[in-house]
Chain A
Amino acid sequence: MTRRPVVLILLTAAAGFLAFDLARSAPLDPYLAPPLFALGSGQAAGGAHCAALPAR
């Protein structure tokens, strides 16, 4: 077997997950989206990162 079917299955699974996510999540609104750069935006960083530990 070559690598091609592995990649096709993976990309199909990713596309399926995105479709599921878009159907279940809050609707997207590009007009309420944050600015392109956080740097200089005046907005606080989100905090959803591998290093973030939630306060109890």
Chain B
Amino acid sequence: MTDSSQTMPVPPRILPRTAAFGLCALAVLAVAAMAGPRSGALLMIGLGFGLVLEGLRFGFTGPWRRMILQRDASGLVAQMVCLALVAAAAFPMLAAHPGELVGAHAPVGYAMVGGAFVFGACMQIVLGCGSGTLVNAGSGNLVSAIALPFFCLGSFFGAYHLVWWTELGALPVAALTGTGGLALTLVLLASVAGLAMALADPGKRAIPARYWLAAVLLAGLAILHLAVAGQPWGVVYGLGLWVAKGAAALGADLSGSAFWWAPANAERLRESVLTDVTSLTDLGLIAGAALAAFWRDGLTGRIADHPARAWVAVVIAGFLLGYSSRLAFGCNIGAFFSGISTGSLHGWAWFAAAFTGSWYGIQLRPLLGLEARR
């Protein structure tokens, strides 16, 4: 009998890696058995988002930062490619199935634009947007792990006050639809990509293979999400809901909030988060990122030290990320990614305001002790 340990060396950590994947598969099956197949599928899609974003090191904050600081257009152009792929599928899906499927459509208003600006600044301070904070926390980044609970708190309070802020002034909801709307969206996405390429350093225009792969995989998952959930991918709704559930359990009266007392949201408060679309994909994002990071290096990376003022900044920025993203009708996912890819004008307004805010956030980061001064 041959000794297999001599002829077939066992790769290191194969057992823990297999066990981690097995646990995730078991969680998906358990959720499907408890809450139905759609819930299981949404958790699986969320895991996919986390695996792609962390595994291929693709995101939103980093590419914007590299575009602003280094004139590196690769990540921003890959984002435009991803949005174009989603839009090419989402526009006809929405047109063919009105009612069953809804887009991420919201009004452009003062609070919406201001919220997007603040979000853009804060996401550069903590180096994590809506999806990025969940992914980074899931992969063991202490800054994001500290910011996350305050992000949730901010999302709850922002939603609580959302109607009041929106009544300060907002346009009617405007969305591009049909073939003409899709064509205009694709032209606008191509224009942004072209402008980024034109402004980029000549040596920083090539898109790495992993970005192409991430853009295609993310687009596929986002389209699947729309087909399964009936609504586009979102992040911050679920975070606020978690705090609202905790507040209600502690005896808080949420009937004073036009948002949390609205029928759709009151139902979410009564039902388990295992039936809530955004909660399921958020939990999947965290777990998927943890799985990818565990697979890569076993979570052995060291955590960076920061001065006290940096941690205070992280807490405040985390809260503002949550609060501002509710006023802006979404973060980089709910507003930028899903808004633009389903035709909402507010997605474009969000992009312009948040990109401007990002420039200020990048300037603030060294002053707050989160990186060395340039």
- Best-surrounded residue of A9, A36, A45, A49 (most CB of chain B within 10 A): A49
Kindly identify which residue among A4, A35, A45, A51 contacts B99, using a CB–CB cutoff of 8 Å: A45
Cα A43 to Cα B102 with chains together (Å): 12
Cross-chain contact A45 with B101 (CB below 8 angstroms): yes
What per-residue 1/0 map shows which CB atoms of B86-97 lie under 8 Å from chain A?
A: 000000010001
Cross-chain contact B302 with A49 (CB below 8 angstroms): no
Within 8 Å CB of A48, what residues of B?
237, 241, 264-265, 267-268, 276-278
Which of chain A's residues 18-54 have a Cβ closer than 8 Å to chain B? Answer: 18, 20-22, 24-26, 28, 30, 32-54
24 A-B pairs whose Cβ atoms sit less than 8 Å apart in the complex: A1-B302, A2-B300, A4-B299, A6-B141, A6-B145, A7-B140, A10-B145, A18-B273, A25-B270, A26-B270, A28-B34, A30-B33, A32-B36, A36-B41, A40-B97, A45-B230, A46-B264, A48-B237, A48-B264, A48-B278, A49-B334, A50-B237, A50-B325, A54-B258
Within 8 Å CB of B209, what residues of A?
none
Within 8 Å CB of A6, what residues of B?
137, 140-142, 145, 303
Cross-chain contact A11 with B290 (CB below 8 angstroms): yes
Cα A7 to Cα B302 with chains together (Å): 13
User: Hey, which bits of chain B sit against chain A, CB under 8 A?
Assistant: 32-39, 41, 93, 97, 99-107, 137-142, 145, 148, 162-163, 166, 226-232, 234-237, 241-242, 245-246, 249, 258-259, 262, 264-265, 267-268, 270-278, 283, 286-287, 290, 293-294, 298-303, 325-326, 329-331, 333-335, 338-339, 344, 346
User: Hey, which bits of chain A sit against chain B, CB under 8 A?
Assistant: 1-4, 6-7, 9-11, 14, 17-18, 20-22, 24-26, 28, 30, 32-56
Cα A32 to Cα B275 with chains together (Å): 11
Cross-chain contact A7 with B262 (CB below 8 angstroms): no
